[in-house]
Amino acid sequence: MGAAGRRGRIPFQGSSGPGRAARRRRAAAPRPAQPGCAGRARSGGTREDPGARPRVRRRSLSQRGGQERSPGRRAGVREQPRRGARRRARLARPAGRGGARVAARARCGHHRPLSAAAVAAHRRLARLRRRGCHFGSDAAACAVRGGVPVTPAASPRAKPLAGLRVIDLTRLLPGPMASLQLADLGADVIKIEDRGAGDSARTLGARGGETAPLFRLLNRNKRALRLDLKKAAGAGVLLRLAHDADVLIESFRPGVMDRLGLGYAVLAAENPRLVYCAISGYGARGAWAQRAGHDINYLGLAGVLDQIGAAGGPPVVPNFQIADLLGGAAAAVSGILAAALDARSSGRGRFVDVSMTDAVLSQAVFALCGLLARGTSPPRGGDTLSGGVPCYGVYETADGRYLAVGALERKFWSRLCEALGRPDLEAFHLEGGERGAFARAELAAVFRAHPLAHWTSLLEGVDCCVTPVLKIEEAMREAHFRERGTVFEADGMLQLGPPFRLSDFEFDASRAAPAAGADSDAVLGEAGYEPEEIAHLREIEVI
């Protein structure tokens, strides 16, 4: 039984065996067109169908014993059916443009005849497409409401990343956030911690002997294994696990894995399909590669921290780990999935080098636009999107709360000025300099006259891009987020769901964050270790 069978998991589609390109090459030899398939052959031949009926070679006249053709019949052309037969064929053919193709495939000698259920599904698909539903291969299963596809409430489809096995060696925030998104999509993520303190996120801000909320938020839907990689036996275990894995993520300083004898070259030799993702502050190569750092350092070196803050004031440290999350979640997940998709067809993995500083700098689009336009960086708090114009900024209310005004478009600004009873401010829409400062002061005085509740009530029905600045506890109570599943309760606490919604996919947090090494026996057993071998590894303090 293969490795996948031992583990009892579905292999990630296409992760082994010939890829799509190889199958196309095998099917490259052109075949003669068959009746009912006219105009359907692709250039370079058609893909072979393992379940197709065998081809029937037409016998020559001599092979048929001199039998002559029927009058009016040419070689390779069907006899014209009688009038009644043509009428019956028309009645039996599925409706719609898709139905014609279905009937043609059914007549063709290279396709299986379709069942009545399949024909009905094609009819529904054709009807939905005519009504504006273009939902890929799921169009036949979706309802249409005003031309917008609506996902069914329940779906039998597997999770998008089911069968993808991920080894997670990361700690704290960046790497665990990346592997969390993969786990939430169905990947089998095995979190590996050392036998000492393990991931420090377990105790960061924890009360008493409880596991910290940070660890519980970032490590749901994962399994856990403790492993001492500094021991030869521990390194051997990781090699064995990597042999059957699709992805490995680590966040050590560049060079650490090589010194352990577990660098990319070694693991790729063990498993050429492996996607190896290394997340670090400054990347695997470059003058800063060996520097230590945290989110604030990455923001500072990328020129982004300088842009955050009010005009005339110092840079402001955001309470949001921009570099950690752009690097750990966005950049790493994008690179991993791109490399994993390529490995499906090529059979070869890749080294994914993620720099959190690069991740921040690569997104500094508007700051760069200001530099290109003026030859110097925009002043802090003085650009269009940093509070330098009256229509885009934060204004205080009478009770010390704040409103976020984002009326960048003229129509929104006009509606806001009208609702406030200040049509005279409409001319100052995108003004900077002294005129902009005057308009901002006037608008600030208007908002300071009443509390937040007054303004939210007044502007509730006005389409002008003005919203309250909520506190985090208020955001967690918002019905909108609860309805979409962005905020939910699991493991006895509030949790945050995935940042996207997929059709035919119901997210669930079925597995709480594991205790350290909770799944060691199961994971090693799936890798082929016998119970006595696992006991020995525990005895010598490898697991």
> Which pLDDT band, with edges at 50, 70 and 90, does 139 fall under?
very low
Q: Tell me, what's the pLDDT at 237? A: 98
User: Which H helix or E strand runs over 167?
Assistant: strand 165-168
**Separation of alpha carbons 177 and 221, rounded Å:** 12
Measured N-to-C along each axis, helices 116-130 and 96-107 cross at an angle, to the nearest 10 degrees, of 150
Answer yes or no: is pLDDT of 39 > 60: no
Q: For residues 407 and 385, is the Cβ–Cβ distance under 8 A? A: no
- The phi and psi torsions of 369 (rounded to 5 degrees) equal -60, -40
Q: Which residue has the tokens 């898709």?
A: 98
Q: For residues 237 and 543, is the Cβ–Cβ distance under 8 A? A: yes
Q: pLDDT tens digits, residue range 518-529?
A: 999 999 999 999
Structure tokens given for 470: 């909520």
Q: What residue spans define the domains of the chain?
A: 98-149, 165-363+519-539, 387-469
Q: Tell me, what's the pLDDT at 117? A: 59
**Separation of alpha carbons 530 and 536, rounded Å:** 10
Q: Among 19-23, 475-479, 501-505, whose mean pLDDT is lowest?
A: 19-23
- The mean pLDDT of the chain is 81
Please state the CATH superfamily assignment of the domain spanning residues 387-469 in this structure.
formyl-coa transferase, domain 3 (3.30.1540.10)
Q: pLDDT tens digits, residue range 490-500?
A: 999 999 999 88
- For residue 39, how many C-alpha atoms fall within 13 Å in the half-sphere facing its CB? 3
> DSSP labels for 233-298?
HHHHHHHHHHHT-SEEEE-SPTTHHHHTT-SHHHHHHH-TT-EEEEEESS-SSSTTTT----HHHH
pTM: 0.72
Percent of the chain whose predicted confidence (pLDDT) is above 70: 71
Q: What is the CATH number of domain 165-363+519-539?
A: 3.40.50.10540
Q: Tell me, what's the pLDDT at 91? A: 41
Mean pLDDT for the stretch of residues 364-390: 91
Q: Tell me, what's the pLDDT at 377? A: 87
Q: pLDDT tens digits, residue range 419-463?
A: 999 999 999 999 999 999 999 999 999 999 999 999 999 999 999
- Catalytically active residues are 294, 324
Q: pLDDT tens digits, residue range 282-298?
A: 999 999 999 999 999 99
Q: Which of 115-129, 149-163, 390-404 has the highest mean pLDDT?
A: 390-404
Mean pLDDT for the stretch of residues 111-128: 58
Q: pLDDT tens digits, residue range 53-74?
A: 344 444 443 444 444 444 444 4
Q: pLDDT tens digits, residue range 150-185?
A: 444 444 689 999 999 999 999 999 999 999 999 999
